[in-house]
Amino acid sequence: MWERSHIQKAGLDMSHTIREIAQLAGVSKSTVSRVISGKGYIHPETRDAVLKVIEELQYKPNAVARAMVSQRTHNIGVLIYRREYPIASHPFYGKIVDAILATAARMNYSVFVTTDHEMSLRSADFMLEKRVDGLILISRLQQNVIDYIHNFGIPYVMVNGSTDVDNVVHVVNRDQDGGMMAAEYLTGLGHRRIFVLAGPQTHRSHYLRLHGFRDYLNGIGSPLDPSSLAYPQASTFEQGYEMMQQHWPDFKSGGYTALFATNDMIALGAMKFLIEQSVRIPDQVAVIGFDGIDVASIYTPSLTTIKVDTEAMGRTACTLLDKLIDQQPVNELDIELVPELIIRQST
């Protein structure tokens, strides 16, 4: 049986306070504070003496106490709504989180990461009570959660979501343009019979991607036939597979030469089914997805896709949030990022 006290003893000793430093250096705590912050006048000799004690005791300023008086925690929260997947390992949102983590670190913010499924208000409450300086809301959170946060009066930025509230900073992908890019690319390759797997149309992204795609086809006078469309209920691999399976008879008889899915996971699921049916990709059927998740690049065949700039999403969200926190003016409320066509083996 082993008790924690052992570990405790192993450490040199628990953390010190500014008062102890002051005492040992023979100065007042105000002076120590001045040395640490670098503000105000201080005699070089005094500074060195204080610095020496700080070094010796391995003193680390208490950020909690600091936050208490400065009313700034230098913490931000990331709140994600996900039903299907947990957050961090989500192939798409995880990338955004990564970018936020990297950018926030550079800006000296620590990041609370929270996933919110079901308990909704509880996780928001948590962040609010912890007095984060600001929040980044990812994906489509329930409106009541947004209102709740909004009413608390804390700065926040929405990523890849939408809300009814006005005057909120949004960072989104130009999904409609991306849809058009996909259509332009496929038709440019000569494809005319294209099957489309469109994820939940209640989702802003899926909706816009489909519409961009459709608009382009309309524009070139080759409109999308309703029978060429299927709607997976969720934007998952499994749904992609099942939907493809379900529509396989029509697909075969329909003379389709290409497939567009409104996200990569659906595309991959569909592709798996096609491969299992010994369909040669891209020779018999070309496949294009949307998102640009990592898996798409390592699949066999690797998946052509419209890549969302998740790095920029996270980075921009962070930068804007920092501005809001600093009360700096933000001259654009809606940041729209341009996606990129990544051509791979599947087309």
Partner DNA sequence: TTGGGATGTGGGAACGGTCTCACATTCAGA
Partner DNA sequence: TCTGAATGTGAGACCGTTCCCACATCCCAA
- Number of residues interacting with a copy of itself: please give it, by CB under 8 A: 83
Work out whether 62 is an interface residue with a copy of itself (CB under 8 A): yes
Work out whether 51 is an interface residue with DNA (CB under 7 A): no
Q: The tokens 């608009």 sit on which residue?
A: 215
| Residue from 12, 24, 29, 216 binding DNA (CB under 7 A) | 29
| Residue from 48, 52, 56, 68 binding DNA (CB under 7 A) | 68
- How far apart CA 27 and CA 8 sit, in angstroms, is 30
**Whether residue 282 has a cis bond before it, omega within 30° of 0:** yes
198 within 8 A of 206, measured Cβ to Cβ: yes
CA atoms within 13 A on the CB side of 177: 11
Between helix 264-276 and helix 237-246 the angle, nearest 10°, is 50
Work out whether 32 is an interface residue with a copy of itself (CB under 8 A): no
Work out whether 83 is an interface residue with a copy of itself (CB under 8 A): no
| Sequential DSSP letters for 335-346 | EEEPPEEE--TT
Work out whether 346 is an interface residue with a copy of itself (CB under 8 A): no
| Residues within window 219-258 making contact with DNA, judged by CB under 7 A | none
Work out whether 74 is an interface residue with DNA (CB under 7 A): no
Work out whether 39 is an interface residue with DNA (CB under 7 A): yes
| Residue from 43, 52, 193, 280 binding DNA (CB under 7 A) | 43
- How far apart CA 219 and CA 216 sit, in angstroms, is 5
Work out whether 23 is an interface residue with DNA (CB under 7 A): no
User: Which option in a copy of itself, DNA, none does residue 18 bind, with CB closer than 5 to 8 A by kind?
Assistant: DNA
291 within 8 A of 264, measured Cβ to Cβ: yes
Work out whether 237 is an interface residue with a copy of itself (CB under 8 A): yes
What is the CA 104 to chain-centroid distance, rounded?
13
The residues binding DNA (CB under 7 A) are 15-19, 26-31, 33-34, 36-37, 39-46, 59, 61-62, 65-66, 68-71
